[in-house]
Structure 1
């Protein structure tokens, strides 16, 4: 395993990068590695979008202030995005706080995707490096949507130990570890957790800001002035991992000393607050923290040992040592690991009694030489050196991927060509198969059978001819002659005493009048013929037929239409003239369809036209 100081240091790619940070904390929370790294990269000229925490556990009532703060942050920006410094933008997404609900994940993905894709397009924020601290399914959906050129996962927490529902994160985290181009682990325990899934994991505990911590400090902070010394100090969030039994024992065993906590209160501290020598000063800006540590006489890390704390590397450790302070810690595995690389400069206690003894011993033997040695030991843990090393790894990975793309262009091109050729061959084969099925089999006639209705003629009041010039092919045709001859035959055989000829087509002559002339020439008296010159297609022609029949009091009709128009005509009649008896009697001898031993393109068009017309009529409510 390589420690970060064993890598060659190098800058990131000279070309400035777009970086999307998917964070586990909000920008205004306690200053940590998330803000330190991203603000450093922004100052170097890289453009950064910092996405605030979308959660790894379900919300509780205690989270209501945080939810309120998120809403306020969202309102500060445009659709939740605000600029906090040059090159650095913060996105406070409004998301459903149920990280392991598939439905919530889907909704959150689409809500955030809408904003992110439009913002990245407007900002020309293309091909970003995605640097995520969050391994949830939602975070990985966003990574896919952002089309990342490089994915970095900073594994800084044992999420499974934070809450019961967080155990659901194991599977998506394992998937991210396999997918990420680089993995940075915050502690040795987390390094070991990541190692089985990738050989690209590197150990990077959090560091300290050299510029801020080596800045000269003046007089002590105002809220420290009246606190009795010596001061045993603690910096960071006061939460459940603090061993309050131990802190109480320290306060009672050392009434002449003051215990000072600088950081937000994240749990109930009333038990300790009533002790006269315990002081809670609240959260301070990161730039103010060194001034407090400087006036501590001894620094403490009084954490209980749990599954969670076994894998954390306390960031405050190097903050304390960067100012030369003596440190007493409980026996956290990561503090002991730190000692192995830093000549045992931290006093580690395995029990409460040992912790009390270590306080006395460290205070009694502290001197300028030891303080200088502590500062020298952690100089290599400053953030500037860590980030420089990270940039070298990132640059190397970018160059590696660029070389792979360059070396693989021939293979990629050949693969694309072969894929295109296979697709073209498959398309040609499909077209050939389709052609053979349509034109060399009876498939078309099999499909046409449901459309065909041929009923035996019976005595009726009228024979109606639907022509309209729009026949079997869906285009103007000469099929009206066949229909007129069929109608005249029915008339002459005594099935009805009247003809209705319907067509709205006008070419050189009005088709309805041409049909009338043809019928008269075939022996039908002119007074027995009614003409509909409006037509308008099957549906409108039928409405005209209904109107004529109702005017004359007729109830029965023989309908002469195109051979495969029978199904549509029957449905129109049933829907719009249910009280009438309409029999479908098309002409059997059709020049258009022939003997149906072969299939021509006009036949395919005619059958397709009829099926499409049925769909259209259904959509319009005609049938």
Structure 2
């Protein structure tokens, strides 16, 4: 690592962020704010996304429109030297057409910005390795490219996993790659030799001031909660192990568990517990004053492929307040604990964590704990943002020649002149895009279009349950449709609607066979292997029907419940009816099949499901029905 530690200054920086400026305060904002304060001019481009918005994103969409409106063409001066761009784009990050349109809209504005503000050869710094970001970077003047890899996109969500190829390209093109964890270092080093580890850390000075403040009263909502207090700050997201926390609270009824942060997922497992308190989101500047009155700090994360690549920023914030830290053994915390003995106590299960907390509370006033507290604070000071950004600056300065620039006070007027010829066209395109998006995805039109495809019949005890596979997911593991259909079939079997199950799918990806996945899931939930028949050659819905009818005939089954997707029911029914017409001798009465779409599917949920994915599924079904009709596979 470079020994040069002078802060970067007098440079122009374009930052492509993976979060919005007003989102939970993280390293993205901290780094850019400090670079701007050091005399660099920064354009902070807010998140352009890796997935289509869902209903739960309504608040963020409103905030984006509001921020776009209060800026000029979406750009506003947030602080001295720091401009924030809140772009309005078509929210379909994996559509080539939408990406092409977004690129044209954004590049025109960004290049106009660079010309009007004399951003000559800026440093381009990206937290977001999407195809759109890559295309924008290639269309901009660029002194050097820095990619800061802070997430394992491959494991964070199915939609985020779709940018794997663009991330590999970003890693290959970058002049410098910064990472936040050992796993991400290993990941990025396969494509770039210039990789440096910089975990997100702590803005040490505000924590020091809060720790040494003469104010001896805790915040009001915390003051009403008696000690001892075990606390957590940060988002209450899906990586937080709620079941573990609930069990821990039961193990320690005399300890109060305090959570300070926004609820990003339902937290029903935590509500109603007498010694669990959810205080909600607080301004970032107030967090040290909550931490000051915790006895122990907690990191209760699930252990997953994703969390194995996560370095929790809160770890440094806890240490800056001198707090004992208790955590589940996610990889980066284990690595940190090995390098810094006695700084973190680990436990995988509630009983182990409870024992650690009891021991820590018992010794909290001991001389050993006072010495450990001083050591934690000193470690946090040495790894603060001030230190880390100076180290980053040394690496950046080695990669480029000095570029001087001056602040341009009339940026708004010059940008207006540069864009005046395109104003009406840009507004018209944006208005049309917003209107189209709202009509298609946030009106009843979607469900009106899909209603003719949905058929559900009363459940009747039958000879067998037919399950048509949903495909292997992009990770090579069973997709959500496969899981839902299999679980529903098992539920029907356990309720004695049939004594046998046929799993039908010839789909295979990454050496994973869909039919075998369904068998393994059902067996794991208690269905005897002898009750399962596997059909693993069907490549489409037509072959599902034909092959299952042949199996029913060979096994002497006289009736069946058919489990498939909600909007797949019409096509399935038409295929069965056509087979009856072609082969009356099959021996099955016309009312022997009962269609049972998956009950309560997450995919088709009006809030949790992706409306764009639902629209795609509906259009696909209509196209398939027309295709089958044209080929004579269903009745004309």
Q: 2:187 aligns with which of 185, 193, 200?
A: 193
For residues 54-133 of structure 1, the aligned pairs below 5 Å read 54-133=48-127
Secondary structure of the structure 2 residue equivalent to 1:270: coil
For residues 364-375 of structure 1, the aligned pairs below 5 Å read 364-366=362-364, 367-375=369-377
Correspondence for 2:630: none
Correspondence for 1:542: none
Secondary structure of the structure 2 residue equivalent to 1:241: coil
How far apart are the structure 2 equivalents of 1:375 and 1:303? 23
Secondary structure of the structure 2 residue equivalent to 1:377: helix
Correspondence for 2:144: 150
Judge conservation of contact 1:235–1:262 (CA < 8 Å) in 2.
yes
How far apart are the structure 2 equivalents of 1:99 and 1:380? 40
For residues 121-520 of structure 1, the aligned pairs below 5 Å read 121-215=115-209, 216-217=212-213, 218=215, 219-366=217-364, 367-399=369-401
Secondary structure of the structure 1 residue equivalent to 2:288: helix
How far apart are the structure 2 equivalents of 1:260 and 1:397? 45
How far apart are the structure 2 equivalents of 1:390 and 1:10? 8
Q: Answer with 1 or 2: which has the greater Rg.
A: 1
Judge conservation of contact 1:20–1:130 (CA < 8 Å) in 2.
yes
How far apart are the structure 1 equivalents of 2:140 and 2:286? 37
How far apart are the structure 1 equivalents of 2:242 and 2:203? 29
Instruction: Give the CA deviation at 1:399.
Output: 4.3
How far apart are the structure 1 equivalents of 2:115 and 2:387? 34
- Could you state the TM-score of these two structures normalised by the residue count of structure 2? 0.61
Judge conservation of contact 1:11–1:395 (CA < 8 Å) in 2.
no
How far apart are the structure 1 equivalents of 2:339 and 2:136? 38
Q: Is 1:53 aligned to residue 40 of structure 2?
A: no
- Could you state the TM-score of these two structures normalised by the residue count of structure 1? 0.62
Instruction: Give the CA deviation at 1:7.
Output: 4.1
Q: Give the number of equivalent residue pairs.
A: 396
Correspondence for 2:5: 10
- Residue by residue over 1:305-347, the C-alpha shift from the partner in whole angstroms, topping out at 9 and shown as x without a partner, is 1111010000000100111100100010000111122224100
Correspondence for 2:421: none
Judge conservation of contact 1:342–1:377 (CA < 8 Å) in 2.
no
How far apart are the structure 1 equivalents of 2:179 and 2:53? 27
Instruction: Give the CA deviation at 1:379.
Output: 2.2
Could you say if the C-alpha distance between residues 361 and 79 of structure 1 is closer, same or farther in structure 2, counting changes exceeding 3 Å? same
Judge conservation of contact 1:297–1:363 (CA < 8 Å) in 2.
yes
Secondary structure of the structure 1 residue equivalent to 2:270: helix
Instruction: Give the CA deviation at 1:400.
Output: 11
Judge conservation of contact 1:12–1:394 (CA < 8 Å) in 2.
no
CA RMSD of aligned residues (A): 1.7
Secondary structure of the structure 2 residue equivalent to 1:272: coil
Secondary structure of the structure 2 residue equivalent to 1:112: helix
Judge conservation of contact 1:56–1:159 (CA < 8 Å) in 2.
no
Q: Is 1:36 aligned to residue 30 of structure 2?
A: yes
Unmatched tracts of structure 1, length 5 or more? 1-5, 403-623
How far apart are the structure 2 equivalents of 1:134 and 1:50? 12
Judge conservation of contact 2:154–2:161 (CA < 8 Å) in 1.
yes
How far apart are the structure 1 equivalents of 2:381 and 2:293? 20
Secondary structure of the structure 2 residue equivalent to 1:281: strand
How far apart are the structure 1 equivalents of 2:70 and 2:261? 25
Instruction: Give the CA deviation at 1:208.
Output: 0.5
Could you say if the C-alpha distance between residues 119 and 36 of structure 1 is closer, same or farther in structure 2, counting changes exceeding 3 Å? same
Instruction: Give the CA deviation at 1:9.
Output: 3.6
How far apart are the structure 2 equivalents of 1:349 and 1:128? 46
Instruction: Give the CA deviation at 1:51.
Output: 0.6
- Residue by residue over 1:430-467, the C-alpha shift from the partner in whole angstroms, topping out at 9 and shown as x without a partner, is xxxxxxxxxxxxxxxxxxxxxxxxxxxxxxxxxxxxxx
Correspondence for 2:566: none
How far apart are the structure 1 equivalents of 2:81 and 2:60? 26
How far apart are the structure 1 equivalents of 2:105 and 2:277? 44
Instruction: Give the CA deviation at 1:13.
Output: 5.5
- Residue by residue over 1:254-282, the C-alpha shift from the partner in whole angstroms, topping out at 9 and shown as x without a partner, is 22221111111101113312112211111
Judge conservation of contact 2:11–2:403 (CA < 8 Å) in 1.
no
- Residue by residue over 1:597-617, the C-alpha shift from the partner in whole angstroms, topping out at 9 and shown as x without a partner, is xxxxxxxxxxxxxxxxxxxxx
Secondary structure of the structure 2 residue equivalent to 1:255: coil
How far apart are the structure 2 equivalents of 1:296 and 1:9? 38
Please identify, of 181-190 and 392-401, the stretch whose mean Cα deviation from structure 2 is larger.
Answer: 392-401
How far apart are the structure 2 equivalents of 1:124 and 1:228? 57
How far apart are the structure 1 equivalents of 2:51 and 2:333? 27
Instruction: Give the CA deviation at 1:78.
Output: 0.7
How far apart are the structure 1 equivalents of 2:97 and 2:81? 34
- Residue by residue over 1:469-519, the C-alpha shift from the partner in whole angstroms, topping out at 9 and shown as x without a partner, is xxxxxxxxxxxxxxxxxxxxxxxxxxxxxxxxxxxxxxxxxxxxxxxxxxx
Unmatched tracts of structure 2, length 5 or more? 405-636
Instruction: Give the CA deviation at 1:183.
Output: 0.2
Please identify, of 134-143 and 111-120, the stretch whose mean Cα deviation from structure 2 is larger.
Answer: 111-120
How far apart are the structure 1 equivalents of 2:290 and 2:305? 30
